[in-house]
């Protein structure tokens, strides 16, 4: 095709996608059905993973919960079973809760260390045999070492990278082939705002989250290039979430009321809406889109200036100090 004509077509398509994005913003698109579909959540034992599991349970998806901690995982499974019972559709009630054919979803739990390739592959094989084809893959498991780079044991740096980033390779490689065959699936990457911009003192965490986003973007382009339109991808970038993972993290005192730590429920609610409407990316709160954009157009000195104004450049230092203190008191879990 003539280059000029092609350029015209591309420009038209770009404008179209802007219009479409605007339209979606005004008219909320319908959420897709997940009832009866299999959904794998990694790191389901706590924090956002547990909330993702309960949200999917509320929509009556079959859940496969992965976590390294058996008891925590079972607790989540119990929560999920409760929700299944609560939301059981009453036949003939006619209140329009669910008009799908009666289907009893189930919950399966697996103990799996996602940082270990063999563990992921063997657990995935079990899932395939015991549960069936996976439609949703929520790559949620994440850890943080909580030490300054020079004081951090090397094994913890490796572990952060393996759980937060390399694990996505293995889980995705395990479930993607079937999704490709069926041209049907959805891969969700739970990253962090720290995957879009960084802060001092948590090099390993930022590196792992940026890596996860790099992986996510490259994979989504790969699927697009292969014309696999049926497989959707959603990137979830929450700001600091109030799950205790970054206890002690503080931005500037006067600014803090404008950026309070997110309620995990709110964060997952926003993420669920994005997932169910096939939105490619969701940042909570929305101000993060602005920060992200500013970061790409400003020179580095100005970015530093902005971070200092927000008190974001060293916001992790109190967290690191807190972590150190609790390690000394033998309170730390990891």
Partner 1 sequence: MMDLKLWGCALLFPLQIFLCVLRAAVRFLLPPRRKDLGTDVVLVTGGGRGIGRHLAKEFAKQGAKKVILWGRTEKCLKETCEEISAAGTECHYFVCDVGNREEVYQQAKVVREKVGDVTILVNNAAVVHGKSLMNSDDDALLKTQHVNTLGQFWTTKAFLPRMLELCHGHVVCINSILSLSSIPGAIDYCTSKASAYAFMESLTLGLLDCPGVDCTTILPFHTDTEMFQGMRVRFPQLFPPLNPEMVAQRTVDAVRTNTAFVVLPWTMHFIVALKSLLPQSALEEIHKFAGSYTCMNTFKGRT
**Which range, of 27-35, 59-67, 89-97, 216-224, touches partner 1 by CB under 8 A?**
216-224
Cβ contact 63:104 at 8 Å: no
Is residue 197 a contact point for partner 1 (CB under 8 A)?
Answer: yes
H or E stretch at 234: strand 231-238
**Which range, of 36-44, 50-58, 268-276, 288-296, touches partner 1 by CB under 8 A?**
288-296
Nearer to partner 1, 26 or 150 (CB): 150
Nearer to partner 1, 247 or 292 (CB): 292
Cβ contact 138:40 at 8 Å: yes
Is residue 254 a contact point for partner 1 (CB under 8 A)?
Answer: yes
Q: Report CA torsion sign: 314, 319, 320, 325.
A: positive
Distance CA 145, CA 160 (A): 7
**Which range, of 34-42, 50-58, 96-104, 222-230, touches partner 1 by CB under 8 A?**
222-230
* 110 among known catalytic residues: no
**Which range, of 37-45, 68-76, 262-270, 285-293, touches partner 1 by CB under 8 A?**
285-293
* Span 299-318, contacts to partner 1 by CB under 8 A: 299-302, 304-307, 309, 313
DSSP 222-252: HHHHTT-TTEEEEEEEE-SBSSSTTTT----
* Span 85-104, contacts to partner 1 by CB under 8 A: none
∠60-237-197 over CA atoms, to 5°?
A: 170
Nearer to partner 1, 87 or 122 (CB): 122
User: Which residue among 98, 158, 242, 265 contacts partner 1 (CB under 8 A)?
Assistant: 158
User: Which residue among 111, 200, 256, 321 contacts partner 1 (CB under 8 A)?
Assistant: 200
Tokens of 116: 């270990």
Nearer to partner 1, 44 or 213 (CB): 213
Is residue 7 a contact point for partner 1 (CB under 8 A)?
Answer: yes
Is residue 203 a contact point for partner 1 (CB under 8 A)?
Answer: yes
Distance CA 327, CA 334 (A): 9
User: Which residue among 144, 190, 207, 245 contacts partner 1 (CB under 8 A)?
Assistant: 207
Is residue 213 a contact point for partner 1 (CB under 8 A)?
Answer: yes
Catalytic residue among 84, 110, 205, 307: 205
Cβ contact 250:256 at 8 Å: yes
Cβ contact 122:66 at 8 Å: no
Nearer to partner 1, 76 or 198 (CB): 198
Q: In angstroms, what is the minimal distance from the CB of 255 to partner 1?
A: 8
90 burial (CB, 10 Å; 0-12 / 13-18 / 19+) is: exposed
Distance CA 266, CA 56 (A): 15
Q: Count of residues for the chain?
A: 334
The residues carrying an active-site annotation are 205
């Amino acid at each position: 095709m003539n280059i000029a004509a092609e350029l015209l077509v591309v420009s038209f398509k770009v404008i179209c996608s802007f219009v479409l994005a605007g339209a979606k913003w005004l008219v909320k698109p319908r959420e897709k059905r997940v009832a009866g579909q299999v959904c794998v959540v990694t790191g389901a034992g706590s924090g956002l993973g547990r909330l993702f599991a309960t949200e999917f349970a509320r929509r009556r998806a079959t859940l496969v919960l992965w976590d390294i901690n058996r008891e925590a995982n079972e607790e989540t499974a119990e929560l999920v079973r409760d929700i299944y019972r609560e939301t059981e559709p009453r036949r003939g009630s006619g209140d329009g809760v669910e008009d799908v054919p009666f289907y009893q979803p189930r919950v399966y739990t697996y103990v799996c260390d996602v940082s270990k390739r063999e563990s992921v592959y063997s657990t995935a094989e079990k899932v395939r045999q015991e549960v069936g084809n996976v439609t949703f893959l929520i790559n949620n498991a994440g850890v943080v070492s909580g030490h300054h780079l020079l004081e951090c044991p090397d094994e913890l740096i490796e572990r952060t990278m393996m759980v937060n980033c390399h694990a996505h390779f293995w889980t995705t490689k395990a479930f993607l082939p079937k999704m490709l065959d069926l041209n049907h699936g959805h891969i969700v990457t739970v990253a962090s705002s720290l995957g879009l911009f960084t802060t001092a003192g948590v090099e390993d965490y930022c590196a792992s989250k940026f890596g996860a986003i790099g992986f996510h973007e490259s994979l989504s382009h790969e699927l697009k290039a292969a014309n696999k339109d049926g497989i959707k991808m959603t990137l979830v970038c929450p700001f600091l979430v109030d799950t205790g993972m970054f206890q002690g993290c503080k931005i500037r005192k006067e600014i803090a009321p404008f950026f309070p730590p997110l309620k995990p429920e709110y964060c997952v609610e926003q993420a669920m809406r994005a997932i169910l409407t096939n939105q490619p990316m969701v940042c909570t709160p929305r101000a993060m889109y602005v920060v992200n954009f500013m970061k790409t157009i400003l020179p580095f000195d100005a970015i530093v200036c902005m971070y200092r104004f927000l008190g974001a450049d060293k916001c992790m230092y109190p967290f690191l100090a807190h972590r150190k203190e609790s390690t000394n008191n033998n309170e730390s879990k990891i």
